[in-house]
Each structure stands twice: as structure tokens, then as C-alpha cells.
A and B are shown apart, each in its own frame.
Chain A
Amino acid sequence: MNEEFLNTLGSIIGTATPLVIASLGETITERAGVVNLSLDGSLALAAVTGFAAAWTAQEMGLLDVPMQLAAGIAAAMIIGALIALLVGFSSIKLRRDQVAVGFVLTLLAAELARFLGADYTRIPGPQITRWAIPILEDIPVIGTIFFQQNVLVYFSYFLMFAIWFWLFRTRGGLALRAIGERPEAAYARGAPVQRLRYWYTFLGGALVGLAGAAYSLNVKPGWSSPPAMQGDGWIALAIVIFGGWHPFRAVLGAYLFAALRAVSSNIQTNGLFIFGQEINFPFVLLNTLPWLLMIVTLLIVSGGLTERLLQYMPRGVQHRLRAFLRSDPPKALGTRFEAE
């Protein structure tokens, strides 16, 4: 296969990684029944914190480069986890609405990122570099696409399988799904609903923080205002829905979005040629594509239209197609649970 094409696919996998990690994190949070709507702001604040921490470590000459990056990643994960815990606490303990708190935190975190990041705008800092996996990288096609990446990308593969395994193959995962579907039943069977919700909110938030660091230390190095990843938090939230709260489908969704973006930015820089004929079109409008895709995917998975279209399908196909297209949220998503 064409080497250049494979490299492009590889770079799509690379740029999709923050989206992958963020939507996987949000997937487990929502599986537990908590919506962390703050993603768009959390990503920005985590990104700037991670960058600032890594940059400060570098300036002070304290640690070697891998440790500087680790410091940045740790700082970003702490920020993401703290914001998520605040959503969890206000819902579980203070009985506030998760959507309201999450939305306020989205705006607040974004403004904080702008304010605290003012001194770190457009300066170079440490970056996570490529590290091809020996042997695996030599596999034809697959090696070029998947195994000539950086550590975060490999971690995202691991994360996807780990979350899938945990969710569907362990007792702990069963409890996680139960507290998001029927918390009262889970509680009756002895699951510590509130504690588990805190824990998965924390974990999901930490992953969102990691995704933020993935932007500022790798995909879009450094910090600028407005942040380069603005809007991605919302896309990640939509991917969770599109993914039907399943890790594999979420990852697929993230890659789909990244691919669409790669295509549209490629066309905007190089123009579009069909049969050697240059097509003239205001390519700026291609920037609408990710958002149109967001609307279309939500249209497909959230019922309404799909149901109507399915009526025209043969019966046998109907059932299978519905199972494939529809995605139903955890039943207790966004609700509070109170034990006596």
C-alpha cells in the first residue's frame, strides 16, 4: 500500500488520541451514572496546567525530560480529577444538578485556563516524542499505522481493552454497570453506590486530564489562547453517546472524527482535485463538517429519525439494524441516588 497514505492513517490515530482518552474517561464516568459535562473546560485547564508544570520543571533544570513530561501529565490528571470530583460531590452530597454544575465548570475552567495560561502563551516546552515499538513496528501496514506512535497512543490502546475487559468480564465491572443502570438494586445487593460513583468520577476525570496533557505536550504542543482544542470537549461528549457507552464504539467514533478533520484540513491546504480538475469551493466551510457529523451521528443513535426509517426496512433486517444503530444511555444517568 502507498507509504504516504499509511503515514496519514498513522497521524490520524495520533491526533485522535486525546479524543479517545477523553471519551473513554467520560464513558466510565457516565457508566457509573454521573455526567461530567465540564469536559471542554477541563481539557483546556488540564492542558495548560500540564504544560506549565512540565515547562517549569524544564526551566528549573530539576529533572530529565521524561520526568518533566511525567510531572506535566501528573499535574494535568490531578486537575481533571479534581474538577470531576467537584461535579460528583455537588451531585452526590449537595444534591445539585450535574448538568448545571458541569456547565458552570466548563466556562469557569476555560476562563481559568486563559487567565493562568497568559504567561505561558506560545512558548516552546518539552514534548512527548515518537517511540516506535521494536518488532511490532515492522509488521507491514499495521506496524506503520499503529506502532510508530508515542507512549500515550499505546496507552490508549491498552485503556480501550482494559475498560472493555473491566466492564464486561469482571465482577467490579458488573457493579459499575449496575450503579449506572439500577442503583437501588445494586445497593440492595451490597454495592457501595456512592463510593463507587466517586471513584469512577475521579478516574474518568483523571483520564480527561490526561487527554488535556496529550494536547499540550504532544498533539498541539504548547499553549495558545483561544486554546487549540476548543470544542473538542463537546465532541468527546458526543462521541460517548455515539459510542453507546461502549469503549470500542467510542474509540471508533473518535477515529472517525479525527479522520474527517484530517481530510478537511488537507483539502483546505492542498485544494481538491477530482479527475485532475481543481474544484473551486469555499473550503472554509469544510470546518462545519465535524459539527454536522456530530448532529448526524446523534440523529442516528438517538431514536426519532432512525425509528421512522427503520419502518421501511424488511422485518428481519429491522431488528439487527436497530441493535446496531441505537445507543441507549445507562438508565440512571444524571440522577441522584439516596440510600436511607
Chain B
Amino acid sequence: MKSPRALAVQIGFLLLPIVISLAVAAALVIAVGRDPLEVVDALWKGAFKDSRKLGGVFNFWIPLTLVSIGLVVTFRAGLWNIGVEGQMMMGALFASWGAQYLPLGESLSPLLNLILIALSAVGGMFWAFVVGLLKIRLGVNEIFGGVALNALVNVISIYLISGPWQPRIGGSAQGTEPFPTPALLPEFSSRFPTNLFMIALVIAAFIIVLILLNATRWGLNLKAVGRNMRSALLLGVATERTSMSAFLVCGALAGIAGSYRVLFTFDNLRPLASGGIGFLGLLVVLLLSIRLLWVPLIAFAFSAILTGSTRLQIALKLDSSLAGVLQGMLVLFVILFHGVQEVFFPGTLADEEIEDPHPPAPSPTGREREVGTVELTKSDNSPLPRSGGGGLGVGA
């Protein structure tokens, strides 16, 4: 049992980051001459005014939760999959190809939907495979590989939209023609415009990955690779294959998330259709210190803020980037205050962290774990550019 004081400190550190980010956001709103209460009102109404708005929240929640689940997997393996945004986009491209060129009629619409979702998963896996190959075999740090591949797929999509896939009339860089109806994912109803099958798919993916991570050998291997690549290798874990499998799982989920953007949200392919959701997923997972269990809930909160923010522009003529500012600050302060607690209030950490001698600290790199004195910690799975070897730091 914990002392009341420790509990108070614990709760305090849970609330402080939220309070401070809200306070800073309010100060920013006042600085640009608006009323913070009106902003809260607009955000709330924008997200929860009626079931239509709620449907909109789910339309962000579906792709955001999918990528976040995938990112938990890559982070577990100690990998910074910043390329997730591009993997979403590649999934969207594959789905868009299928939506335009697969000749399946109205009656086969559900089958076509399934095929397109599968295609998008392949697309996401393909782009994740490239990042993985660059990282695992060729020693290119996955952060830079990912950033470059994100940019590449964006250029490719703009080329497709303004070139081979441009609308027959009035071709521009705005987007392709709307896809034929059988390809699109159907709305549940006009009152609740979201797709129930995809919601079910997200829940299924969540449960499956939860089981895979916690109850299978693969989950254990991921953890081993993420904690310490060299020991994992010495223990007989196929480190390269494990890392690659993490990339592929994340890529598949990201690809499906991308398909939802084009087959439901937009009904066509647009430049930057992934809309920063991949990066937002990275924030969700960092906020949670890579814990999968709370991903759907936090993703829902972030989706609500995102949906609500679209109203800011209309109601208050305020830039919708306020949502991103709020989310970014929240994650930043959570990470910083976790550090403050660890350094200045040791012994007040949550129970699970005491039980586990190697808590999943906000560092997905495993470098922050050794909280000793006089030490220079550098784990083998450093995400930083590294010299030598096959890029795995396993002593080539």
C-alpha cells in the first residue's frame, strides 16, 4: 500500500500536465484576443452537439486508433516509426488504385470493400518494409528513412492526382474524381455517419494485438529486442526478423487507416489525405508511455479535440491548429512531469512501475531506464544515427 502522501503526489502529477497545458492554451487564446470559454464551448459543440458530430469523432478515431495500435508494436521493438504517416498514405494509394480499376458492381460492394482494405494493408506493409530494410540491413536510421519516405509518397500522390488519375473535367491538384459508390465504405446512417464494420475491425485489431503482445512469444521477443538488442540476440531471438515483423504489422494497420481516409472520409484521393493522423498517433503512444490498454480512450479524446477544432474556424475565426497545439503541449508536459516526478519525488511512482524493475518509461529507446548514478547509458537499440555494422549495433 502507498502512503496518502504518495497517492496525493501521484494524483497531482496526473493532473498537473493537463491543467498547465489548458492554462497555456487559454493564455494563447487570450493573446490572440478571444475568449477561452467560447473556445471550450465551440470545441464541445463541434464534437458532441449531436450524433452527426459524434460520427465525425469516430471518423478520426478509427484511423487514429489503428495507427496508434501499430505504433505501440514498433515502439515495443524500440523502433521510431515516423514513417507511419507515409505508410498511411501508401495504403490510401493502393486502395485508390483498386477503387478506380477493380470492376466489381454494386452487388459485390462488401467484397470490394474487403479487397480494398486488404490492398491498403499491403500498401502500408510495402512502405514499412522499405523503412525496415533501410534500417535493418542498410543502417539508415528509421527516423530519417521514414521522413524521406513520407515525403516521397506525398510527391507520388500529387503526381498521380495531377497526372494519370486526374479528373476528366477540370483536372487540378485538388483530388481525383470521387470513387464509384461500390468502392466506398457505407455510412451507418445519415444521423450517425460512420462505418460500423471499421469500428469493429479496430476493436478486433486492438484485442488481437493486446493478446499478441502480452501472451505470445512474439510479444516477448519484441520486448526483448526493444530493451536490449544485443542480449536478445544472445538469447537466440531472431532480432532482424522481429524488428521487421514489427514494421510490417504497424504498416498494415497504418495502410488500413489510410484506406479509411480515402474510402470514407474524402471519397477520393487528395494530397496529404493522411492528414497528420500518423504523427498524432505517435503523440498518443508517447503520452501513454507505450501502454496499449489506454490507446482507444486517449485516441478518442484526441479525436474529439480534432473534430471540435473544425468549428473554431467557423464560429470564432480561429485557426484550427489550436487543437494540435493543445495536444502537443499535453504530451510534452506529461513527459516533462514524469521526469520531475521521477527525479524529485522518487518512491511516489505508480505501483506497476515499482513492481516492474524495468518500467516502460516514456523512452521508447530504453535509454532512460537505468536510473543509477555515475553512468553513461547507451543502449544498443539507440534510435540515433549510428556507425558500423548492419546498423543494428550488434557488433558486426
Chain A residues within 8 Å of B, Cβ to Cβ = 35, 37, 90, 93-97, 99-101, 103-105, 107-108, 110-112, 114-116, 118-119, 183-184, 231, 234, 237-238, 241, 282, 284-285, 287-288, 291-292, 294-295, 298-299, 302-305, 307, 326-329, 332-340
Contact = CB atoms under 8 A, between A and B. Distances in A.
B147 A94 contact: no
Nearest to B383: A99
A302 B386 CA distance: 7
A340 B321 contact: no
A237 B391 CA distance: 18
Contacts of A95: 339, 342-343, 368, 371
B384 A107 contact: no
A205 B163 CA distance: 41
8 contacts: A100-B364, A112-B328, A115-B319, A241-B144, A285-B155, A291-B151, A335-B382, A336-B377
B286 interface: yes
Given A97-B368, A335-B367, A335-B377, 15 more contacts: A35-B384, A101-B332, A116-B32, A241-B385, A285-B156, A288-B155, A291-B149, A291-B151, A292-B148, A294-B147, A298-B385, A299-B140, A328-B387, A333-B384, A337-B376
Contacts of A288: 151-152, 155-156
B159 interface: yes
A97 B365 contact: yes
Contacts of B170: none
B324 A96 contact: no
Interface string B14-51: 00000000000000100010000000000000000000
Given A95-B343, A101-B335, A335-B376, A299 B138 contact: yes
B6 interface: no
B378 A335 contact: yes
Contact of A303 (B32, B152, B388): B388
B322 interface: yes
B329 interface: yes
Interface of B: 28, 32, 80, 82, 134, 137-141, 143-145, 147-149, 151-152, 155-156, 158-159, 162-163, 279, 282-283, 286, 318-319, 321-322, 324-325, 328-329, 331-332, 335-336, 338-340, 342-343, 361-365, 367-368, 371-378, 382-391, 396
Contact of A94 (B28, B328, B339): B339
Given A183-B376, A184-B376, A334-B384, A234 B147 contact: yes
A329 B159 contact: no
B324 A111 contact: yes
B390 A303 contact: yes
Nearest to A295: B148
B392 to A, nearest CB: 10
Contacts of A115: 28, 32, 319, 321-322, 324-325
A304 B374 contact: no
B156 to A, nearest CB: 7
Contacts, number: 204
Contacts of B139: 299, 302-305
Contact of B134 (A90, A101, A291, A299): A299
Contacts of B152: 288, 291-292
Nearest to A112: B325
Nearest to A244: B387
Contacts of A340: 373-374
A303 B151 contact: no
Given A94-B336, A291-B152, A107 B324 contact: yes
A302 B389 CA distance: 9
Nearest to B333: A104
B375 A338 contact: yes
Contacts of B338: 96
Given A96-B336, A291-B152, A332-B378, A103 B82 contact: yes
Contacts of A334: 367, 378, 382-384
Contacts of B367: 97, 334-336
A94 B335 CA distance: 9
A178 to B, nearest CB: 13
A332 B80 CA distance: 19
Nearest to B344: A94
A299 B148 CA distance: 12
B27 to A, nearest CB: 12
A116 B32 CA distance: 8
Given A231-B151, A285-B159, A335-B378, A100 B343 contact: no
A111 B321 contact: yes
Given A99-B80, A237-B144, A334-B384, A284 B162 contact: yes
Nearest to B388: A303
Given A111-B321, A288-B156, A105 B332 contact: yes
B230 to A, nearest CB: 16
Most buried by A among B144, B145, B361, B372: B144
Contacts of B387: 302-303, 326-329
Contacts of B368: 95-97, 336
B328 A104 contact: yes
Contacts of A326: 387
A295 B336 contact: no
